[in-house]
Chain A
Amino acid sequence: MSKSGTLYIKIRSDVEPIRSGVLVEVRDSSLRLLELGGNYSQVDLPLGLYEVSVVLEDGKKYCQYAKVEEGITTAVTLQVEEEALEELINLPSVTGHGFDDDGLQPRSSKAKTSVKAKSSSAKSISAELLEVDGAIELYQTSSTWHFQAQSNAQRVATALIRLNKQQFLISLPVCSTHVGNSSCSVKVEQQGDRIVVNAWISPDQYEASAMQNMLGSGFFLEAAGVAENAIELLQGKYSDPVGAALGALIMHKTGQLYRRKSWVENLAQDFSWLPDGKVMLVSLLLGDESERERALKLAVAASKQQMLFTENFSLLLGLLRRWPRGSDTEKIQNAIEAMASRSPFLDWESICLSYMVPEEE
């Protein structure tokens, strides 16, 4: 019998699906990904060095190494760390004439990865909050505004922000019916030579914030793991419809939403102020000819509302463009034109809908 030891994995996280370990990866010293057989906290393994990693709620992947020794339980703890990792990983300098490939290890980060410019200097950013609708400004730090949902809001909250000479309208991921605090932050960030405005769900909304951070970092499948396992969030959408809508979007991206059709029905009907639920339901109904008329009504209604998530705006516009023949062409075309007038100005990389308001508006 080969010798073995035990690896004990502890995940410190406020997000239950993450804490349960379903996102944990264990690789042996050949970097082979091991099948844990559903046991994510304590595993018997052959002797040797192992790499244990997990994507945590801040959207970063954390990694620890453990030496498994005979008859010994080796503990590994993974948690969000505020300080820089001990090992410094250099980002490459990408020259203008090809790449000296000494390694590219992008760090996952809460916002989209910032690319360091070789020679550009930071632009000065003049940012001003012009209007808020459906939310209340709580406070402001140097480059961030914090908002809370306004009571009895009947539509997606928005903030109009001026950045230098341009104005941006951004949807705010808050909800007045959320039990407890529903807040968010809007950050002005410089990404290379580009200034962007992003809205982030409050970290206090553990599951929703984790999903958004993972989505923003490109960990789609991990975000889906949180969505699929955040049963309370999904079933209790009344406590966090924004989080539920984000979970629905993530499950749509990974092809899992069709299993929750009745839940999506409720999301669309009970929160009609949130058009994203309608879009999710349209995506499920469109393939059924008997439901097409209802799907069109939902699609047209959603097209007239302020969408919360960029991807749902994109999804709806695409569905309308490819709507099956035989439906009300004029209604579809009107809906397309209404949305299409904004789409060239959208920031497609922003998770929450954000677009530049053209000067003529």
Chain B
Amino acid sequence: MGSLIPEDVTKPGTHALVIGVSHYRHLEGGEAVTSAGKDFAMEQLTAAARSASEFAAWLLQDYKCDRAPLKSLRVLLSPSENEIIHPRIVPLLQDDSSATLDNVKTELLDFMQACDSHNENVAIVYVVGHGVQLTKHGAIVLLHDVGADNHLSILEGAIDVAGVHAAMNHPNTAQTQFWFVDACRQEPMVARYFESLGGALAPRNVHKKDAETSIFFLAAGTGQQAFARPNKVTLFNEALLWALSGSVAVGPEDNGRHLWHVSTTALIKQLPDRVKALAHAEGARQSVEITGKIHEAVFHEYSEIPTVNVSIDLHPQEAKDVSKGTLVQDATDELIVQQYDEWPFQRQLEAGLYVMEIQAEPPFRSKNKPLSFVPPGRNTIINVPS
């Protein structure tokens, strides 16, 4: 299969491996159900492959990292019937791009070799499908042909993502790594069956030293309801793309990060909460474990200062009728609005610090209120003192 874009390992860059498995050939509902496949007691999925394709498309279209631009993108998808793959990705998939054990072995090896080409490389891995969460640190994700009759062990058609992560955690490869595992986790009594089994795909390497940054996000929702909206994308994918669209962007830094960007810490702080909120809205529960080597790093950059949706209101209600607001952007001294009185004030503004001057009539008192507008935006209620 190979990279969807011309691969370049002559200079530092970002290398990505994306795997999404919705269709399981040998599990219930597959076209060649085996007795081993039945033993898994798992259904076909409807969102994993699409979610993987959405992330791959984002990498192609929007990913920005000036110090390590995208240099290879490997995508393996096994979609279910009628599952919609991102139109940007479809024409790039050639030959057999299904997420079988053999294909994953081939692409994984090539991906690891590409990552080894420069320490300044960035590695991004995104794997989504049925999984068994074994620990905080990882999950086994089942591949398209798990349960095949010619497999010697029950987990031969699965990838131990934590094991792969550990194998790549050393000083002689990409020193900045981002791992995203999005697994439809199994109920404890089912998971128990797999706990002590071996055989899942994982290179066996033990290293003395770690990579500099190798952060691992493991999203695991128990059952399909917690995993994805039917025939759409997974909740984790939805949360991740929300984050990458600018919602968790942080400001530039004196230490050389000159652009607004998505940082490791921003993802750590915001992604789990967002996933939880989305799952809760579906009446389900999903957690995001954060492990690996945690170090501050930039995942994605923005060319422009992000804008945020701002809403400013006053409290108490009586203050609104007798208060006027003047909003100034401090960095530019730009007057945003003057003598505003139709509360709440709502507008899309550039991220930054602002000052709202409230001129209030008795019994209320005027005040100046500094405000920080950061992505994804905020609702602010200013208490007007009396």
Contacts and interface: CB of A to CB of B under 8 A. Distances in A.
A121 to B, nearest CB: 13
A253 B290 CA distance: 10
A317 B135 contact: yes
A88 B163 contact: no
Nearest to B276: A115
Contacts of B105: none
Interface residues of B, number: 79
Interface stretch (B33-41, B108-116, B189-197): B189-197
B138 A220 contact: no
Contact of A87 (B209, B289, B382): B382
A102 interface: yes
A90 interface: yes
A105 B266 CA distance: 12
A290 B166 CA distance: 20
B374 interface: yes
B255 A32 contact: no
A253 B253 CA distance: 24
Contacts of B251: 27, 30-33
B268 A103 contact: no
A30 B242 CA distance: 23
A322 B204 contact: yes
A318 B380 contact: no
A192 B287 CA distance: 12
Contact of B134 (A103, A288, A343): A343
Q: Which of B202, B296, B377 has the most CB of A within 10 A?
A: B377
Contacts of A287: 206-209
Contacts of B352: 29-31
B316 interface: no
Interface stretch (B15-23, B146-154, B277-285, B357-365): B277-285
Nearest to A194: B285
A94 B286 CA distance: 15
Contact of B378 (A29, A51, A99, A105): A105
A94 B309 contact: no
**Interface on chain B toward A: helix, strand, loop, or mixed SS?**
mixed
Interface string A170-214: 000000000000000000000011100000000000000000000
A340 B196 contact: yes
B247 interface: yes
Given A30-B252, A102-B377, A336-B196, A94 B191 contact: no
A50 to B, nearest CB: 8
Interface in B236-252: 242, 247, 250-252
A276 interface: no
Interface in A304-361: 310-311, 313-315, 317-318, 321-322, 324-325, 333, 336-337, 340-341, 343-345, 348-349
Interface string B269-305: 1101110111011110101011101111000000001
Contacts of A117: 280
Nearest to B202: A322
A95 interface: yes
A106 B196 contact: no
Given A333-B196, A344-B191, A254 B295 contact: yes
Looking at A31, A218, A311, A322, which has the most chain B CB atoms within 10 Å of its CB?
A31
A104 B270 contact: yes
Given A48-B330, A287-B206, A318 B166 contact: yes
A255 B295 contact: yes
Interface of A: 27-35, 48-51, 63, 65, 67, 86-90, 92, 94-96, 99, 101-106, 108, 113, 115, 117-118, 192-194, 218-221, 224, 253-255, 258, 286-288, 310-311, 313-315, 317-318, 321-322, 324-325, 333, 336-337, 340-341, 343-345, 348-349
Q: Top 6 closest A-B pairs, CB basis?
A: A31-B251, A340-B195, A287-B208, A344-B188, A65-B370, A314-B135
12 contacts: A27-B251, A29-B330, A33-B251, A48-B330, A103-B311, A104-B376, A314-B136, A314-B137, A315-B136, A318-B134, A325-B204, A348-B289
